[in-house]
Structure 1
Amino acid sequence: MSERQPTEDTPLVVNMASESDVSVQGHGVHTAYVELALALERRDDVTLVRGGYGESVECDVYHLHTLGSAMWRKILDPRAKKVVSAHVIPDSLVGSIRLARYWRPLARRYMRWFYGRADRVLAVSGTVARVLQDELRVPAERIEVLHNTVDMRAYRTTPADRTAARRHLDIADDAFVVVGVGQVQPRKRMDVFEQLARRHPDVVLIWVGGVPFKHLGAEYGAMRRLMERAPANLLFPGVVPHPEVRRYLQAADVFCLPAEQENHPMCILEAAGVGLPVVARDLPEYDDTFGDDVLRCQDGTFADAVALLRDDRSAYATWQQASARIAERFDSSAAAERLVGIYRDLVADVGPRVSA
C-alpha cells in the first residue's frame, strides 16, 4: 500500500503502462490503453504517470495493460495496488502468433501467475470474465467487467469530413467502400474478407493493418500470399498511424470484422463512433456488449450483409442507428468515472490481500 493515503480531495497517483508504448502499436490493446489514459488525464482527481518500463514507480495504483517482463517490477511491488486490464486470454493467441497451439499451456500458466498478482482484473467482456475465473483461476471477487471505450467526440464525422478523407486517400466519391481494421492474421479470417472482394467486384474493400510481428505471426507466408494475390478491389495499406486509421473509417460506408475470436474490439467502437454500420461475425463474446446492434454473420452471409447495406437505404439507416447506440454505450468518459471509483475502493482497503 502506498504511504500517501490519498483522501477524496487528493488526486490519486496512477501509473498506467502498456509495453506497446515501446514496441508494436498497430493493435487494439495499444488503442485501448491510449483511450483510457487520455480519459483519465482529462480529470482533476487523478494524476496519471505513463510508462516507467522495467521499474517501480511511486504511486497509489499501478494499472497495467500488457503482461510482459517490463511489468514484473510493477506487478510485484508491494507498495501500491495493482489493476490489470485483461485484453488477452489464452485463446487470443491461437491464430495470431506462430505455433500458439503448442505453447498455449505455458501461456495459460503464465497468465494465471500474472493475473493472480493483481488486486483487480478488468475483463473487457463477460466472456473474458468467465475465462479469468474458470480457466485462469482468478477469484471472482477480484474480477470486474469494464469494457473498452473510446472518446466518441474524436470520431464524429460530418459529410465534409468524409469528402476530405476520400480526397486524401484518393477514393472516388461514388465508390461503395467497406473497411476492416486489424492485424493481417488467420484469426481475423482474412479469407472471408478476400471472398467479399471477389463476390462484390464493384465494391472497394480496404483492410487497414499488416503483420507487425512478421515471421512470428501465424501463417505469415500464407498471409503475405493472400495480400499479394488479392483482387484489384481489395487494398492493403499496411500498418498506419492511428489518425490515419480514423481517416480510413471516415472514408468508408461500412465496417466489417469477420474475425473468429475477439474479446471487445476497439475497431468496432471506433467505427460506431464514425457512424458506420458494423458487420461482424456472430460471436458469443458480443452478446453482452454489442448485442443486436451489429449485423452478425456467419461465413456464408457476409456477402449478403454487404449487399443489403449497399442496396437498401432504409436498412443502411437502421444499422447506422444501431451503431449510434454502441457509440453512446461505450464513451470513455463514463468508463473513466467508474475506473476512478475502482481505484479509490482499492486504495481505501487497508486489509490484507487474499493470496492468489
Structure 2
Amino acid sequence: MFSSATKVKGQGVGSAYTELIGLLQRHFSNVLEISCNNYSRADISHYHTVDPQFYLSTFFPGRGRKIGYVHFLPETLEGSLKLVQPFKTIFYHYVISFYRRMDQLVVVNPSFIPKLAKYGIPAARVTYIPNFVSKKLFHPVDKTVKNELQKQLNIPSNKFVILGVGQIQERKGVFDFIKLAQQFPELHFIWVGGFSFGRITDGYDQLKKIVKNPPHNLQFTGIVERNKMGDYYDAVDLFFLPSFNELFPMSILEAASCGLPILLRDLSLYQAIIKDDYLAGKDIQQLGERISELSQNSQLLNEYRFKAAQIAKAYSEENLAGQWLDFYIQQSRLNKK
C-alpha cells in the first residue's frame, strides 16, 4: 500500500484508505501480507494517492502489479483547490499520467469508467469496487443516547438539526448550505469539517469570514477526529450534502450507516450507486423545499431512514470484503503470468 492520505485530516481519501486497511487486517491477515509505504519487492503495489515519489517508484523493478485508486479526476477538483496557471494544467496532466502508469485502476463509482476512457484508459483496465464503512464506528443509537450526545456537543435538543460533512470549499456547496441556514432560522445547521488544504482552498477568503461569524443557527465545528464523527451523525436528524461534484463521498455511507435520512444535490452520478434511496434537489430552491418537507413530516423522515438502512446494508464491510480479496488474488495471478 502506498498512501499519504492520512497526513491531511478531514478528507474522504484518508477515510477510505483507513477503512480498507482495517478491513484487510480484520478479515485477511492470514492470507495477505500488507506493508505501507515500503519500497521492497511486492506482488501488488496499490497506490492510493498520486504523490510524485510514488509515481517515480512505478519505474523501479519489483513493483509487481500496479494498482491505482481513482479518488478524483481533474474535473472533480474544480471548486476544490485554487490552482493558478500553468500549474493547474501541469497538475491535471500529471494526474492522468499517473493513472495511465497503472496496470489496473479501481473506481468507487461506475460512472467514472467512461470518463477515464476519454483520457485513453480502456474500460478493461478499470474495476469498480465501491466505498464502505465499518459498523463499529458508525451505527444508529437510541433516543437516550442521542439526547446525551446533543448535550455533549452543544446541539439544541428542541430543534430539527441538519448536518453537512466535508472540507469547507466551494465544490462542497458550502455557500448554499449557509444560505439555507439563513433561510430556515428555526432549524439548526452544523457543518463538520475544515480547511484541510488551507489558503489554496477554493473560496477560502470569503468562506473563512463566514466561518468566523456564522448565522446564529449555523455551527462550524472544524475538523473532527474520525473516531468522534459517529457522535455527530447520531446527534442530528438529517444528513445534507449540497456538493456540485463528487465520486462516492464517505460521508454518505457514514450517515447511512447511522440511519440518517439523506438529502443531496441532484447529481446523475448518485443514481449509479444509491438509486432512489435518498432525496434530492437540483438547486437551492428545491433543496429548501426538501428541507421544509422533511422537517415537518415525520412519516417522510422515517421512510428515508429505512432507505438509508438499505444503503448501509448494500455497502457494508461484510459485502465488500470478499470483493477486495477476489480482486487482489486476480491481480496477483496476472502478475505471475
Question: TM-score, length-normalised on structure 1?
Answer: 0.88
Q: Contact 1:41–1:48 at 8 Å: present in 2 too?
A: no
Report the counterpart of residue 184 of structure 1 in structure 2.
Answer: 168
Match of 1:234 among 198, 201, 218: 218
Report the counterpart of residue 259 of structure 1 in structure 2.
Answer: 243
Report the counterpart of residue 18 of structure 1 in structure 2.
Answer: 3
- For 1:310 and 1:229, the matched residues in 2 are separated by 25
Report the counterpart of residue 57 of structure 1 in structure 2.
Answer: 40
* CA RMSD, Structure 1 to Structure 2 (Å): 1.8
- How far is 1:347 from its partner? 1.2
Report the counterpart of residue 72 of structure 1 in structure 2.
Answer: 55
Report the counterpart of residue 149 of structure 2 in structure 1.
Answer: 165
Report the counterpart of residue 309 of structure 1 in structure 2.
Answer: 294
Q: Contact 1:92–1:261 at 8 Å: present in 2 too?
A: yes
- How far is 1:154 from its partner? 2.9
Render the CA deviation track for 1:246-292: whole Å, top value 9, x for unaligned: 21111110000001000100000000000000000010111110111
Q: Contact 2:182–2:215 at 8 Å: present in 1 too?
A: yes
Q: Contact 2:45–2:66 at 8 Å: present in 1 too?
A: yes
Matches within 5 A, 1:280-295: 280-295=264-279
- For 2:335 and 2:161, the matched residues in 1 are separated by 55
- How far is 1:73 from its partner? 4.8
2:220 counterpart SS class: strand
Render the CA deviation track for 1:199-223: whole Å, top value 9, x for unaligned: 1111110000111211111121011
Matches within 5 A, 1:238-249: 238-249=222-233
Gap runs ≥5 in structure 2: none
Q: Contact 1:93–1:104 at 8 Å: present in 2 too?
A: no
- For 1:143 and 1:190, the matched residues in 2 are separated by 32
Which amino acid is the alignment partner of residue 305 of structure 2? Answer: Q
Which amino acid is the alignment partner of residue 308 of structure 1? Answer: E
Report the counterpart of residue 275 of structure 1 in structure 2.
Answer: 259
Q: Contact 2:137–2:227 at 8 Å: present in 1 too?
A: no
- For 1:282 and 1:100, the matched residues in 2 are separated by 29
Structure 1 pair 310–190 and aligned structure 2 pair: CA distance change class (3 A):
same
Please identify, of 169-178 and 216-225, the stretch whose mean Cα deviation from structure 2 is larger.
Answer: 169-178
Percent pairwise identity: 29
Gap runs ≥5 in structure 1: 1-15
Q: Contact 1:156–1:274 at 8 Å: present in 2 too?
A: yes
Q: Contact 2:166–2:192 at 8 Å: present in 1 too?
A: yes
Please identify, of 190-199 and 261-270, the stretch whose mean Cα deviation from structure 2 is larger.
Answer: 190-199
- How far is 1:332 from its partner? 2.2
Q: Contact 2:80–2:202 at 8 Å: present in 1 too?
A: yes
The reply to whether residue 87 of structure 1 matches residue 71 of structure 2 is: yes
Report the counterpart of residue 281 of structure 2 in structure 1.
Answer: 297
Render the CA deviation track for 1:231-251: whole Å, top value 9, x for unaligned: 110011111111222211111
Report the counterpart of residue 208 of structure 1 in structure 2.
Answer: 192
Which amino acid is the alignment partner of residue 135 of structure 2? Answer: M
- For 1:212 and 1:238, the matched residues in 2 are separated by 10
The reply to whether residue 141 of structure 1 matches residue 124 of structure 2 is: yes
Report the counterpart of residue 13 of structure 1 in structure 2.
Answer: none
- How far is 1:337 from its partner? 1.2
Please identify, of 68-77 and 174-183, the stretch whose mean Cα deviation from structure 2 is larger.
Answer: 68-77
- For 1:165 and 1:101, the matched residues in 2 are separated by 46
Q: Contact 2:70–2:107 at 8 Å: present in 1 too?
A: yes
Which amino acid is the alignment partner of residue 343 of structure 1? Answer: Y
Q: Contact 2:65–2:335 at 8 Å: present in 1 too?
A: no
Which amino acid is the alignment partner of residue 8 of structure 2? Answer: V
Q: Contact 1:208–1:240 at 8 Å: present in 2 too?
A: yes
- For 2:217 and 2:131, the matched residues in 1 are separated by 32
Which amino acid is the alignment partner of residue 41 of structure 2? Answer: E
Match of 1:199 among 183, 188, 194: 183
Structure 1 pair 350–61 and aligned structure 2 pair: CA distance change class (3 A):
closer
2:111 counterpart SS class: helix
- For 2:93 and 2:277, the matched residues in 1 are separated by 36
Which amino acid is the alignment partner of residue 4 of structure 2? Answer: E
- For 2:229 and 2:4, the matched residues in 1 are separated by 21
Q: Contact 2:58–2:101 at 8 Å: present in 1 too?
A: yes
- For 1:277 and 1:122, the matched residues in 2 are separated by 28
- For 1:334 and 1:225, the matched residues in 2 are separated by 43
- For 2:77 and 2:137, the matched residues in 1 are separated by 30
2:273 counterpart SS class: coil
Q: Contact 1:93–1:100 at 8 Å: present in 2 too?
A: no
